[in-house]
Amino acid sequence: MTPQRLAIVVALLAVTALVVVGLLQMGGGSPSTAASQLTLAQMRSRLTGSPARLATLHDQAAKILPGGLPALRARLASLRGTPLVVNKWASWCAPCRAESGVFQQVSLARGRQVAFVGIDSNDDHGNAVAFLRSFPVSYPSYFDAGGQAGLAVTDSSFTPVTVFFNRQGGEYIHQGPYLQASKLERDVARYALS
């Protein structure tokens, strides 16, 4: 092997190692924020006194609800006029796993003003339930086995994707994970509460 080829192979191995380490750190399996250590009871306690529409969501915290697209559409219709954040995720999706602590934190901070709803898209039901048992959020997700609900609401086959709806029904779509609470907070204020 020539010195040039050896240098290329070494460089490719180094880049590959960096990519693997980055992916492991990004989606490593467990959310890293302190908020992800809260229990369902602690989350519900923090959201006590929320308006009725939002309290109903909090009562279903970390549940995977059946019914797919029809049930999701009915829930979204019942929330018209309420600032809303819809997050499409899956338990197999490393970036989704990485952002779950951020969603727990921000949904607790904004849960008395903003409705949060999840779409568990193209996932294994058992894996999704197990994930939410370990890393609960203060709102329910709708099970979307075939991905139709996620595509209908987010207009994207990408995962994760988050859609913000303001009181007037205006929407903004963000593709990719939220890895910092400050960025999700900023977009909630800008697109849902505007």
> What is the per-residue pLDDT across 123-178, written as a single tens digit (0 to 9) for each?
999 999 999 999 999 999 999 999 999 999 988 889 999 999 999 999 999 999 99
Whether residue 17 is predicted with pLDDT greater than 80 in this model: the reply is: no
Reported as type and span, the H/E element at residue 106 is: helix 94-110
* Whole-prediction pTM: 0.81
Are 188 and 107 part of one and the same domain?
yes
Instruction: Give the per-residue pLDDT at 44.
Output: 87
pLDDT at residue 7 in the model: 54
Q: Which amino acid is at 38?
A: L
Rounded CA separation 71/63 (Å)? 14
Total tally of structural domains belonging to the chain: 2
Mean pLDDT of the chain: 86
> CA-CA distances (angstroms) from residue 26 to 6, 21, 75, 83, 87?
30, 8, 32, 29, 18
Residue 1 shares a structural domain with residue 67:
no
Q: What is the rounded CA–CA span in Å between residue 47 and residue 104?
A: 12
Q: Are 108 and 165 part of one and the same domain?
A: yes
Give yes or no: residues 13 and 55 share one domain. Answer: no
Q: Is the pLDDT of residue 181 over 70?
A: yes
For residues 134 and 86, state if they share a domain.
yes
End-to-end CA, the chain? 62
Task: Clarify whether residues 68 and 153 are in a common domain.
Answer: yes
User: Mind listing the pLDDT tens digit for each residue in 55-94?
Assistant: 999 999 999 999 999 999 999 999 999 999 999 999 999 9
State which residues form the domain around 2: 1-30
CATH number at residue 180: 3.40.30.10
Distances (CA, A) of 115 to 49, 99, 165: 14, 18, 10
Task: Note the pLDDT of residue 167.
Answer: 96
CA distance 139 to 54: 9
Amino acid at residue number 189: A
Q: Are residues 17 and 49 in the same domain?
A: no
CA distance 156 to 162: 10
